[in-house]
Chains A and B, each alone.
Chain A
Amino acid sequence: MDFGLYLWTTLGAFLTLAIFSFLYKDNPFYKIAEHLVVGVSAGYFAVILWHNGLSPNLFQRLNDGNWYFLWMDSTAPWYLIPAILGIMMYTRFSKKWAWVSRWPMALYIGIATGVAIPLEMGARVNRQLFAIMERSIDWANFFGVGGFNLLDTASGLSQLIVFVGAMAALIYFFFSKEHTGLFGATAKFGIWILMIGFGASFGYTVMARISLFINRIQYIDNNWLQNGLNTGITPIEGYHAGYAVIFWLVVLIVVGYIIREIMTYLKTKEKSA
C-alpha cells in the first residue's frame, strides 16, 4: 500500500472511530466527523446533480450540449419553461418578490399529487384488494398441506388468518366510529395482529444490523490495521489483528482523555482570566 493511500485510509479509519465515539457521548471527534461529512456530502450531491441531472435534462436539450450556442437553435426550446420556473425559485432571495417562488412550488406539488392519486389507488388499494380475492381458501388442506401442520404458511387456516387479520387491522384504522362492542373487540384483535407483525419484522432486522457492525470492524482491521502495520500479510491468513484493534482503541481512549484534560484546563484558565 503506498503511503498516500495509507494516509487516506487512516483518515477513513479515524472518521469511523470518531463516529463510533458518539455512542459514548457528543464529543469533539464526532463533531469533526459530523461537520466534515455534512459539507462533503452536500457538495458531492450538488456536483452529481449538476452533472447527472441538470446537464442532460436541461442544458443538453436547450443548447445541444454546446455552451456557446445557448438555446437559440435548440431542438427542444420548450425546455425554457422549466428553466424559467427553476429561476423563479430564486426570487426567494428577495423579500418583495418571494411570492413568485410559490408558482413553481405549486406546480411541483400539483404535478406530484396528481401523479400520486391514480398510481397509489392502483398500486396500494386495487392491487391489495385483488390479492385478497384472488386465491380461494385451501379447504382440502385446512390444517396444513399433507397432514396436521399448523405452521404451514400455505394451509387454509393460515390463509384465513391472513384474511381475518388484515380485515381486523383495517377496522382498527376506522376514525369516525367509537371502538366499542363487537367493533371494538375486532379493532383490538386488529392491533394485536399489527403488534405481532411489527415484532416479527423488528426481530428479523436485528441480524442484518449486526452484520453492518461486523463489516465496519473488518474494514478497520483489513483495510487499515493489517495493511498499515504489517504489510504483506493477507487479511485472512494467520495474523489476527483483533488484538491490534483493542490496542488502537486503548490508544484512542488515552489520547482522548489527555485532550479532554487539556481542554478543561484551558477552559478553567479562560474563566480565571
Chain B
Amino acid sequence: MKYKLFMLAIGVLLCALPLLAQEVEEAPPDSMVVGSVPAIPTPAPVTQLSGEDGKNDHGHAVMLSWELSADDRPGDTTSTVLSYEVFRWVPSMADTVEAVRLAYEEADAIMRSDDAPEGARDKRNDLRTRYFDLLEQYPEFYASYPENGNWKNIGASPSGSTTYEDQGSKERLASDYLPDFCDFRYRVDAVTAVATIRSSSEIFGPVQSSGQYFNTGRVPILIGVLVFGLLTLLFVQQARGGKDLYVRPLAGIEAVDDAIGRATEMGRPILYVLGLGSASDVATIASFTILGRVAKRVAEYQTELIVPTYDPIVMSVGQEVVRSAYLDAGRPDDYKEDTVYFVTQSQFAYVAAVNGTMLRELPATNVYMGKFFAESLLLAETGAVAGSIQIAGTDEIAQIPFFIVACDYTLIGEELYAASAYLGREPILLGSLKAQDWAKAAIIVFGTIGLLAANFNWTFFTELFRVTN
C-alpha cells in the first residue's frame, strides 16, 4: 500500500514537474523573497549528477540522477533545501524554432477559419516545411555548446528526490517537443526557501536520447504470453488428436439448454443481453460465441430471441452471429434482422428500455453475458419480477455479487470465458481450458515459492517476475 502510494505520488510529481517549470518561470524569483524569513546559508550543491537515455521508451527523454545535497536531510526539519531545479543548455536557435512553430500554428488557425484568405494554405505549408527543416538541424545547434545558447530551467523536483526525467513530447508539432540524438548538457541547482540562495552542481553531458526497439522491462509478460500460447496450442492439438478431456460440470451452463427448452414449452421469448462492453472487450467476444450457440438452439426450437444492444458494432457482429446460427440450423428464412437491435449508448437509458421490454414481453429466460456495471442489479431484479429464469456471467468483479444474489445461475469471472468452450463441447475449444488450468497451477506453485522466497529474502526469484514500465 505504502509502496503504491509512493509510486503514485512520484508519478504525479513527474507528470506535474514540466508544467511547474513554466509556473516557476512566470513568477520572477524576487516575489518569493519574504522579508520575515531569516537569512539562510548557501546550501551545499548536489553531487554525482549523471544522466542517461530513458530506458525502454520511445525516446525524447533523459533520466537524470544525483546525490542529495548535504543540506537536504529527509525527516530533518532544519534542512534548508526545498527543491531542486533542473537546467538544460538550450541553443539560442531554439527560440527561432519556437517562433516558426507559433507562426505555423497561427497560419494553420487562419487557414481553418471560415473566412480564410487566398493563399492561406500555401503560407501554412511553407511554414510547416521550414519548421521541419529547422528540427532536422537540432543536433548541430546542440553541438555548438557552449556557444550560442544558455541555460534554461526545465523543471523542478521536491527535496528528498534524487531523480528527474527530462521528458518531452514525441509530437514534432507540440510545444514541448524534445529532439532525439542531440548532445544535451544538464545542471541541477539546490534551491532554498529564498529562490536566490542556491548552489549549482557540476555540468553533466553530453547525453543523447533515443528510442529502443525492445522493452526489456516487459520480458516476463512476453514469456508469459509465449508459454501460455504454446500450452494452448499444445492442448488444442492434443484435443484435435482425439484425446478425451474431462471437464467438470458447471451448473450455469447446463441451465442454458434447459432454459431454451422451457421457453419453447411456455411459448415465451428468450432475452439475451450482451452487456455494456464494446466489441473490443474480450468478455463481449466470449459472449458472442455463447449467443451463437443459444441462437442455433433457438432456431431449432423455433423460439423467439430478443437481443437489445448497447453498442452499434456489437449490434452488427451480433446480427452476423445470429444470422449464421439460423443458417446452420437450416432455417435461414426464420431469421429477422430486428432480432438484434440497437437501443442507445447511454447506460441507464439502455436499462430503462430493456427493463420495459422485460415486463412487456415476459421472456421465459434472461441471459446476461459480458461486461456489466451498475445496471446489473437493475436488470436482474426486473427479470426476477417478470418471473424469468436468469443466467448471468460477467468478469466485472464489483457486479458479480449482485448477479449471485438476483440470478438463478451465475458464471463467476473466468467461468464466462470457459462457457463458450463448454457449450460447444468441441474438443478443440476444451483444449484451451486445460491450458488455463496448467497456468493456474503454475501460478499457485510460483506464488508459494515466491512467498517463501520473500520470507527468506531470496530477492532474485521475486525479481524474475517484476514488470517495469
Q: Do chains A and B touch in the complex (CB under 8 A)?
A: yes
A109 and B344 contacting across the interface, CB-CB below 8 Å: no
A-B contact pairs, 25 of them (CB 8 A): A22-B355, A34-B356, A37-B349, A38-B344, A38-B350, A38-B353, A64-B108, A64-B112, A66-B116, A105-B313, A109-B285, A112-B279, A113-B285, A121-B224, A121-B228, A122-B467, A129-B450, A132-B451, A133-B447, A134-B3, A136-B455, A137-B451, A178-B246, A198-B400, A202-B401
Q: Contact: B111 with A167, CB < 8 Å?
A: no
Q: A225 to B448, alpha carbons, bound, how many Å? A: 62
State the Cβ distance, A141 to closest chain B Cβ, in Å. Answer: 14
Expressed in whole angstroms, the minimum distance between the Cβ of A167 and any Cβ of chain B is 5
Interface size for B (C-beta < 8 A) is 74
Q: Are B467 and A69 in contact (CB under 8 A)?
A: no
Cα separation A15 to B55 with both chains bound (whole Å): 56
Could you give, for residues 116-131 of chain A, a 1 whenever the CB lies within 8 Å of some chain B CB and a 0 otherwise? 1110111001110110
Within the complex, what minimum Cβ distance (angstroms) separates A39 from chain B? Answer: 8
Complex Cα spacing A176 to B432, Å: 10
Given A102-B320, A109-B280, A201–B398 Cβ distance below 8 Å?
Answer: yes
Whether, in the assembled complex, A171 has its beta carbon less than 8 Å from a beta carbon of chain B, the answer is yes
- B88: Cβ under 8 A from any A Cβ: no
Query: Which chain A residues numbered 47 to 72 have a C-beta less than 8 Å away from chain B?
Result: 64-66, 69
Cβ of B93 within 8 Å of any chain A Cβ, yes or no, is no
Contact assessment for B279 and A38 in the assembled complex, using a CB-CB cutoff below 8 Å: no
Do A118 and B398 touch (CB < 8 A)?
no
The interface on chain A, measured as residues whose beta carbon lies within 8 A of the other chain's beta carbons, has a size of 68
A73 with B121: CB separation less than 8 A: yes
Instruction: Please tell me if A96 contacts chain B, counting CB pairs below 8 Å.
Output: no
Asked if A38 meets B116 with Cβ closer than 8 Å, knowing A121-B224, A167-B444, A173-B413, the reply is no
CB–CB A37/B352 < 8 A:
yes
- Residue B225, interface by CB 8 Å: yes
Interface of B is mostly: helix
Known pairs A45-B344, A112-B279, A112-B282. 8 more at Cβ < 8 A? A38-B344, A129-B443, A135-B454, A166-B447, A167-B444, A175-B248, A176-B245, A176-B434
Q: Hey, what's the 0/1 contact readout for A134-157 against B, CB within 8 Å counting as 1?
A: 111101000000000000000000
Our pick among A37, A66, A198 for the contact of B404 (Cβ within 8 Å) is: A198
Contact surface of B with A, Cβ cutoff 8 Å? 3, 108, 111-112, 116, 121, 128, 218, 220-222, 224-225, 228, 245-248, 250, 279-282, 285, 313, 316-317, 319-320, 343-346, 349-350, 352-353, 355-356, 359-360, 398, 400-402, 404-405, 412-415, 418, 433-434, 436-437, 439-440, 443-444, 446-448, 450-451, 453-455, 457, 461-462, 465-467
Residue of A nearest to B313 (CB): A108
A64-86 interface mask toward B, CB cutoff 8 Å, 1 = contact, 0 = none? Answer: 11100100010100000000000
CA distance in complex: A66, B248 (Å): 61
Which residues on the B side are within 8 Å of A120 (C-beta)? Answer: 282
Complex contact B359–A25 (CB within 8 A)? yes
How far is it, in angstroms, between the C-alpha of A135 and the C-alpha of B452 when the chains are bound? Answer: 10
Q: Choose from A31, A44, A73, A137 the contact partner of B356 (Cβ within 8 Å).
A: A31
Residues of B near A22 (CB, < 8 A) are 355
Whether A30 sits at the interface, judged by CB under 8 Å, is yes
